Copies of this chain bind each other. A is one copy, B any other.
Amino acid sequence: MGSHPPGLTWALIEEARARIAPLINATPVLTSTTLDQAAGAHLFFKCENFQKGGAFKARGASNAVFSLPEGQVRHGVATHSSGNHAAALARAARLRGVPAYIVMPNSTPLAKRAAVERQGAEITLCEPTLAARERAAAEVIARTGAVLVHPYDDLAVMAGQATVGVELLEQFPDLDLVLAPVSGGGLLSGIAVAAKTLRPKVRVVGVEPAGADDAARSLRAGRIVPCEHPQTIADGLRATIGVRPFAEFQRYVDDVVTVSDGAIVAAMRHIWEVMKIIVEPSGAAAYAAVAAGRLEVRGARVGIVLSGGNLDLESLPWLKPARE
């Protein structure tokens, strides 16, 4: 591999961990005899659905907002996000005492929009395309002087998300494999650097919806290949992998596998029914890869990141009339 930009280091992750410790939950790891038997493996579910704000995003957003110098952060922070990062950034800004400006696609689920409003952020709605989001964010920043905190293509955000991996490997040091969902890649890149530092032998595999498989295709191509029109029920997994996360993927991620939307919904429902915990579709994707047999796990000790639990309880995917 040739030259590359400065990447995510263990030092950045350790700093992030100390910085955000008072701002986040160290989340529990749950196990299930029933799901272990179904998989023929030992599964360790890292419950980021129990994180502050209901998703891992609290980690990266808190690290980014609290690592900014006072002089930079005082006019506030801004982002464009489909939901969980937005609420997490709004919360971190409130805790630091600065304003937050959030650009959201108008297709964002109501529950995620309400979560941002509860944190007192200013919301700007836009069309659900990357171009519209970036344009609206640029306008907000020009108007307010706020600092952009990108949802994933940002080393401070990645270092914050990496603490999921640090906690998981401390809680269960002898994992053979760690699975996490992939959208922009901030979570999995952070976990990969953390996990391979703490346990070089561990395999780290990402899981993507088949209809938003840019990371899998990018890894194969050796360059970022965006999905022009991502199609998946997992509203948190539609972003294209970022430049900085992709660099870490190339160094540290062993594979990215894909799962169908049907497998995601089935996995989500199975988690609800058996584990009695609420995960959103994106949060169930990593387990879906196991349940649908998308990779070999027999006999292995597998860490599975349940990344979030925010969704409209009015419109569960198994209750929707079939439309396709």
The answer to whether the Cβ of A230 comes within 8 Å of any Cβ in the partner chain is: no
Chain A 282-322, CB within 8 Å of chain B: the 1/0 string?
00000000000000000000000000010001101011000
* Residue pair A49, B273 in contact (C-beta under 8 Å): no
The answer to whether the Cβ of A54 comes within 8 Å of any Cβ in the partner chain is: yes
* Residue pair B50, A276 in contact (C-beta under 8 Å): yes
A-B contacts, 17 listed (Cβ < 8 Å) = A28-B28, A30-B50, A49-B276, A50-B275, A50-B276, A111-B273, A269-B313, A272-B313, A273-B313, A276-B278, A276-B279, A277-B277, A277-B278, A278-B278, A313-B316, A313-B318, A316-B316
Q: Which residues of B contact A275 (CB under 8 A)?
A: 50
Chain A 249-287, CB within 8 Å of chain B: the 1/0 string?
000000000000000000001001101111100000000
Within 8 A of B (CB), among A105-153: 111
Interface residues of A (CB under 8 A from B): 28, 30, 49-50, 54, 111, 269, 272-273, 275-279, 309, 313-314, 316, 318-319
Q: Which residues of B contact A111 (CB under 8 A)?
A: 273
Name A49's closest neighbour in chain B (CB-CB). B276
Q: Which residues of B contact A50 (CB under 8 A)?
A: 30, 275-276
Among A54, A269, A277, A279: residue with most chain B CB under 10 A? A277
Closest Cβ–Cβ distance, residue A304 to chain B (whole Å): 16
**Choice from B30, B276, B318 contacting A54 with Cβ under 8 Å:** B276
Q: How far is the CA of A135 from the CA of B269 in the complex (A)?
A: 37
Closest Cβ–Cβ distance, residue A312 to chain B (whole Å): 10
Among A50, A273, A309: residue with most chain B CB under 10 A? A273
* Residue pair B318, A276 in contact (C-beta under 8 Å): no
* Residue pair B309, A314 in contact (C-beta under 8 Å): no
Closest Cβ–Cβ distance, residue A90 to chain B (whole Å): 15
Known contacts A111-B273, A276-B279, then 15 further A-B pairs from the complex at CB < 8 Å, ordered by chain A residue:
A28-B28, A30-B50, A50-B276, A54-B276, A273-B313, A276-B277, A276-B278, A276-B309, A278-B278, A313-B316, A313-B318, A314-B318, A314-B319, A316-B316, A319-B319
Closest Cβ–Cβ distance, residue A315 to chain B (whole Å): 9
Q: Which residues of B contact A319 (CB under 8 A)?
A: 314, 319
Q: Which residues of B contact A49 (CB under 8 A)?
A: 276
Q: How far is the CA of A272 from the CA of B309 in the complex (A)?
A: 10
Among A54, A276, A278: residue with most chain B CB under 10 A? A276
